[in-house]
Amino acid sequence: RPRVSYDQGRLLTCLPFICEIDQRTGEIVDTILPRRASFLKRFSPTMLAAGRDSLWISFNNGKDWVFEDAGLASYPDTARGSISDVARSHQGAIYCALRGVHYLDSVGTRTVQRMGGVSRSRDNGDSWEILTQWPVDYSHVSTITALASGTILAAASDVEIDSRNFDPLLQMLPSRLVRAALFRSSDGGETWKKVFTDYLSEATMPDRERDILEMSNGSILATTLTGQVIASTDDGSTWT
């Protein structure tokens, strides 16, 4: 998910580090965060968050960064998923989208390879909890957004790697998308409801990500893995 953002007069991008780009020449002029990152979010005039394999938060506008385990420390090193997105509600809670993956062995037995789901911090990252009510069949969470109303929306999938589909030419096991959907929580992540089904059949893992955007008039737009744009006018409860 390549990201370019215009932040407080600076053009920032993930290359794969968070870097500032000269707006005339396109050259890198400064490294804001020398860690791998696929997203950058601003929560306040002084608070930033970025990450990919791990989560980093700055409370002084990017001058210093604090490492956050985002709840992944509760899992063994070999079973930790990566971080794909982060959001902060107006109540101050931080929500982290974690990419989990399932694995099928040579006889088709399905197990968890990477733990995913959604984690939450209510104290600016001092402590984290994995939200146990998140639907386990959708552990690959790619996008999470906190709406002005306090509602949380998250786009998630069930992604699996089948050892029986080894590609000898590429020397790799391709990922496969089993199902995908959009979820909504109106109680701070305590419970989740599926509000839109994205993919209905198995498919090769798409090379695109989903986005969720709240408009100034209160309507919400979201993209799907099939390339569609869907909309909601009732705080994410229904989509067309």
pLDDT digits (tens, 9 = 90+) for 183-204: 999 999 999 999 999 865 555 5
Cut 0.85: pTM above it: yes
CB-CB contact of 97 with 120 (8 Å): no
Whether residue 125 contacts residue 59, with contact meaning beta carbons closer than 8 Å, is answered with no
88: three-class secondary structure by DSSP: strand
Distance CA 118, CA 144 (A): 9
Token pair listed for 231: 């909309």
pLDDT at 162: 87
What's the confidence (pLDDT) of residue 106? 87
Among residues 220, 138, 222, the alpha carbon closest in space to that of 180 is found at 138
CA atoms of 218 and 221, how far apart (whole Å): 10
Question: What Rg value do the Cα atoms of the chain yield, rounded?
Answer: 18
Quick one: pLDDT at residue 206? 56
Give me the pLDDT at residue 166, please. Answer: 80
Ordered mean pLDDT values, 10 residues apiece, the chain (240 residues): 79 89 93 92 95 92 93 79 93 95 89 91 95 94 96 95 82 82 97 88 61 95 89 97
> Which DSSP letter does residue 10 get?
E
CA torsion sign for 202, 208, 209, 214 is negative
